[in-house]
Homo-oligomer: A and B are copies of this chain.
Amino acid sequence: MLGLMQLSIGQVAERTGLSVHALRFYEKEGILAHQVHRGPGGRRVYTQQDVDWLRMCIMLRMSGMPVPEIRRYTELVRQGDGNELQRLDILKEHQERVRQQMVQLQDCMDLITHKVGIYQDYVNSIAAKAIGQ
C-alpha cells in the first residue's frame, strides 16, 4: 500500500517542509537514495520511501552534515550491501560532531542564562524602586 503511493514534487514539499526548489536541488546534488521515477510529461513521481529518506537527510542537514557528505553516504547506500562499515564510520563521525556541537551549545546557553539572570535581577530591582516611590 505505502509503497504504491505516488507523490508529486509539490506534495513532497508539503510533507517534508522543503521547498520545491530545494527538492530539485537535492536531487541534482545526488542525495536521493535512488533515481526519482518520472511520470507523464517528465514529472517527478516520489514514493513514501523517498519521503522517508528525505526526512532523514533533513535531520542530517539540520545537525550540520554538509551536502557532499550526505551524498557520500547516499552513494554507499545506493551501492548496496557490503559497505556497512563505511556507512557506520560516516555516521559515527557525524555523531561525534553533533555531540561536540551540543556541548558547545550548552556552554553558550550557560553564559546566556547567566547574563539573562543578571539583567532580570537588575530590571526587577528598577521596577521595584519605581513602585516603591
Q: What is the count of identical protomers in the complex? A: 2
Query: Which of A1-9, A40-48, A82-90 faces chain B?
Result: A82-90
Nearest chain B residue, comparing its CB with the CB of A107: B59
- Given A84-B123, A84-B126, A88-B123, CB of A109 within 8 Å of CB of B116: no
CB pair B119–A94 under 8 Å, yes or no, is no
**A108 touching B98, Cβ below 8 Å:** yes
The 8 Å CB contact of A87, one of B56, B104, B107, B119, is: B119
Chain B residues closer than 8 Å to A101, beta-carbon distance: 105
* Other-chain contact of A112, B95, B108, B119, B120 (Cβ < 8 Å): B95
Write out the residue numbers on chain B whose beta carbons fall within 8 Å of the beta carbon of A92: 116
Q: How far is the CB of A26 from chain B (nearest CB, A)?
A: 17
Whether A102 lies near B112 (C-beta < 8 A) is no
List, sorted by A's number, 16 A–B pairs whose CB atoms are closer than 8 Å.
A56-B111, A59-B112, A60-B112, A63-B104, A63-B108, A63-B109, A84-B123, A88-B116, A88-B119, A88-B120, A91-B112, A91-B119, A92-B116, A95-B109, A98-B105, A101-B105
| Pairs A-B, 7 closest by C-beta atoms | A63-B108, A88-B119, A59-B108, A95-B112, A91-B116, A59-B111, A98-B109
